Amino acid sequence: MRAALLLLAAVLLTGCAADLTNEEPSPRLDLPSDARSQLIVNFKAGNNVFRNADWDQFKSSWRAAIQSEASTYGYSVTEQVGPISTAPTPGLLLVIKVNDFRYVTESEPADDAWVDARVIYLDAQTAKEYGERGYNTSAPTWEGISSAMTDVQIQAFAKGIVDEIRSADSTSEPSQIAPEISAARAIDPAPTRELQLEQLNREGLRYEEYQRRYREIVGY
């Protein structure tokens, strides 16, 4: 399982965005009913996002949008910061990989906002993958979003995520082990040590966790 988690983490940090414009509609997810009410979000920045000055604000807005939408149905939302890890209780781990975005507020009407992201739905206890969805404002599914502001687009995405979970087919089949993640997703080269350290510095971790992660990155 650890190997699969590490591979998934590497893929999320390196995978390039798929062309979603002509993507066929995805089949409904098949999710265990006891996992839906506990949602865990883990944001991952693509290589184009590491140096975006609005990254923290973007994450905060999307997290708040999911919390607002999920609370309507009694779902709880927590955030997992850093490496992907499993949880001791049933739940859904939503790994939100943001390939690129342009953050636009109401006071910045000059250019349209846009988002290129995908969400991978995992079992929180085993990291079994249930499926993934693209969230791209240039795709037919989302191009009808009327507002040019990022927060409005993110709210629409959050509603789509929660609706996806609510409408998913139910299964009682237990998830025993995490599947191997296809190596075909690992297209781009791995992020440089500089980018990894830059991301680490932005996460605001406690000293002990920061030191542990720093040693993992630099290799001692």
Comparing 17-26, 68-77, 125-134, which segment has the lowest mean pLDDT? 17-26
Name the residue ranges covered by the structural domains of the chain: 2-15+29-172, 190-220
pLDDT at position 110: 56
Q: What does the alpha-carbon distance between residue 94 and residue 63 come to, in Å, rounded to a whole number?
A: 11
Model confidence pLDDT, tens digit, residues 144-172: 565 667 888 899 899 999 998 988 877 64
Integer Cα distance of 64 and 42 in angstroms: 13
**What's the predicted TM-score (pTM) here?**
0.67
d(C-alpha 67, C-alpha 138), whole Å: 25
Beta carbons within 8 Å of 80's beta carbon, 6+ residues apart: 40, 41, 42, 93
Sole residue written with tokens 């791209």: 136
pLDDT score at 139: 62
Q: What is the dihedral of CA 142, 146, 149, 155, to 10 degrees?
A: -60
Just give the CATH number of 2-15+29-172.
3.40.50
141 vs 10: which has the higher pLDDT? 141
pLDDT of 100 above 60? yes
Nearest to 185 by CA among 2, 31, 46, 21: 46
Question: Under the phi-then-psi rule, with left for phi > 0, alpha for psi from -120 to 50, and beta for the rest, what region is 161?
Answer: alpha
